[in-house]
Amino acid sequence: MAEQRSPGTVPTPRRLLERLPSITVLGPFVALLLAVLFFSAQSDRFLSGQNFSLILQQVLVVGVLAIGQTLVILTGGIDLSVGFVMALGTMVMTKFAVELGLPPLLSVLCGVAVTTGFGFLNGLLITRVKLPPFIVTLGTMNIAFALTQIYSKAQTVTGLPDALLFWGNTFRLGETVITYGVVLMIALYLLVWFLLSETAPGRHLYAVGNNPEAARLMGIPTQRVLLLTYTVAGLFYGIAGWLLVSRTSVGDPNAGQTENLETITAVVLGGTSLFGGRGMILGTLLGAIIVGVFRNGLTLTGVSSVYQVLITGVLVILAVTADQLSKRRG
Amino acid sequence: MEFRPNPQRTPPPNPDLPLDQARQPVTQAKVVLEARGLVKRYGHVTALDGADFELREGEILAVIGDNGAGKSTLIKALSGAIIPDEGQIILDGKPVHFRSPLDARRYGIETVYQDLAVAPAMTIAENLFLGREILKPGLLARLLRVIDKKRMLEEATNSMKDLKIGIRSMSQAVETLSGGQRQGVAVARSAAFARHVVIMDEPTAALGVKEGNMVLELIRRVRDRGLPVIIISHNMPHVFEIADRIHIQRLGRRAAVVNPRRISMAHTVAVMTGAMSPEELSPDELAH
Ligand SMILES: Nc1ncnc2c1ncn2[C@@H]1O[C@H](COP(=O)(O)OP(=O)(O)OP(=O)(O)O)[C@@H](O)[C@H]1O
Ligand SMILES: [Mg+2]
């Protein structure tokens, strides 16, 4: 019987490497804490409830999109169609409501059905035709973009009914004004966290990402898990679209163009491995907030937005490096 | 390669019994899993060419053979990973038709795959219950398929205790274990769920001497709990150390079943490679 290494022995380089997973867990917290401390020192407007509420509103859409992206990345895949599929969904919602005059909630449902359908299509192509997720979603990204432009004739939709703007409504918590959308985002994160960590389908998603062949041999319907994952991701893109419409009060055919990379940034900063099978959904929320804090803080301290992009890039490289190092261990 | 029988493993003939019964005490044991005339073709390659197979109650049966002899194909047919073109598989005297590994598992046949089939980032407890998690009671919990982590942890601890695998915490990730311990987890998983048969494809390959011995010891414990075990191995000393009978697979068929307590390693290898025909073996060397 191989003996166990007893805890508390002298830290060798190997022992330090073994602790890396905890670095990927703690990393996001530390990064967030440092950023908050730094910006609080730089600007006295930074550390206020109202400013944090604003940051949350700014990360709302990317935050909900990143839930779908996290699910996909946990299976070892990637989704490049995220922002463009959402944009198509918002065009369907707004045009159905404004131009076809459908009841607003039915229009929302149609928009969400379109994004969910796109997720299903991604899943179908990946599981049935066995194409790599990267290529499939690159293709559907372009299809969604083109459909958005064709359908909207590149026109912005305005004059939206109130129901479409619902998530922009606010309530007060003490001094701070909070939108319903922020509450929805946090609720969705908690729900997905529960499903991933406490239910059999959630654990199967991790197993499929961690070792697909083992999952298959253990009787997990791996193809069905993948198909369901991409479909559910599409559902979240639709919800994110509704949140976007609520925030901006328009249907914008050019929305969602930077969101792909931003969701991947949030996922990676949150400590989820791009190799699949490892990571936490709540880390993604932290990752999204980190990006938001940097944006907001740098803007408040009057730093040009080019530096914001630079710093985000450096953060992503750091996070991916930690991921790669912890994978190499053992 | 000279083989000297291990004196402890060679029981003295019992003078009170008729000669052939004294030598083959397992003859009366019930047949648990049987295959007749299995054929499996891949294009024009015939992997199985009318293979027979017989596993008896409470035994460790080793399956040996040259590369390409059809061992893995035979075992895959028995574990539902492939469907044979011809022939039948009989479990407890009844014909069965496995269409997937899941089918075979429903009949209590568990397989330890050569690459172990574990999810390294997940905990030992999760790996033990992968694909058959214990769910919490209650309508909503059933609907959402909420898992009972506490019970899974307890039962994992118990089944590992049964097999005396020295792992402290069932909530540690499998990737933190040594190779031997991981193999132990895979063996424990099959032992914990098997009701009928445990199949192991090369369970000691790529293990150190110490880890290899640990897994052999585990296999014996599984057998001693009453489960028959099929083990594929290229490691002759291991085979002779652990097997009650040895199934020699050659050219897609069963060439012979021999008795490791009576036959030399040299003769076994000769039959396996075709240097010696099974008819040249003395009746004493065969297992009946
Ligand atoms: N999926 C397959 N497709 C084509 N041929 C196959 C396939 N599986 C097995 N074969 C062929 O069937 C024959 C028997 O293969 P099998 O894997 O059963 O041998 P084995 O006894 O397990 O050999 P080894 O000791 O190398 O594992 C070989 O000639 C092999 O090439
Ligand atoms: Mg083989």
Structural domain harbouring B67? 30-118+196-280
Two tokens, residue A117: 């359908």
Q: Which residue lies with its CA nearest to atom 29 of ligand 1? A: B68
Site to substitute for ligand 1 among B40, B64, B71, most atoms within 8 A of C-beta: B71
Q: Which residue lies with its CA nearest to atom 12 of ligand 1? A: B47
- Asked if the structure places residue B188 within a domain, the reply is no
For position A9, what pLDDT does the model report? 40
Contact list, A1 vs chain B (CB under 8 Å): 164-166, 180-181, 214
Q: Which of residues 204-233 of B touch A (CB under 8 A)?
A: 210-211, 214
How many structural domains is chain B composed of?
1
pTM of the model: 0.84
For position B27, what pLDDT does the model report? 55
Which SS3 state, helix, strand or coil, does residue B168 take? coil
For position B184, what pLDDT does the model report? 82
Contact list, A3 vs chain B (CB under 8 Å): 166
- Asked if the structure places residue B249 within a domain, the reply is yes
CATH code, domain carrying B245: 3.40.50.300
- Asked if the structure places residue B271 within a domain, the reply is yes
What is the ipTM metric for this complex? 0.83
Low-confidence residues of chain A, pLDDT below 70?
A: 1-25, 327-330
What is the distance between the alpha carbons of residues B89 and B279, in angstroms, rounded to a whole number?
26
Q: ∠ CA(A228), CA(A233), CA(A239), 5° rounding?
A: 130
**Each residue's pLDDT expressed in tens, for chain B with a length of 288 residues:** 434 444 344 444 444 444 444 444 445 689 999 999 999 999 999 999 999 999 999 999 999 999 999 999 999 999 988 899 999 999 999 999 998 888 899 899 999 887 778 999 999 999 999 999 999 999 999 999 999 999 999 999 888 876 667 777 899 999 988 887 888 888 888 888 888 999 999 888 777 787 788 889 888 988 998 999 999 999 999 999 999 999 999 999 999 999 999 999 999 999 999 999 999 999 999 987
Shortest CA gap A193–chain B (Å) = 13
Residue pair B86/B37 in contact by the 8 Å Cβ criterion: yes
The pLDDT tens digits for A243-254 are 999 999 999 999
Q: Which of residues 179-218 of A touch B (CB under 8 A)?
A: 195, 198-201, 203-204, 206-207, 210-211, 213-215, 217-218
The set of residues, in sequence order, having a beta carbon less than 8 Å from that of B198 and lying 6+ positions away, is B110, B111, B112, B187, B190, B191, B222, B227, B228, B229, B230
For position A303, what pLDDT does the model report? 84
DSSP for residue B136: P
For position B125, what pLDDT does the model report? 94
Residue pair B233/B64 in contact by the 8 Å Cβ criterion: yes
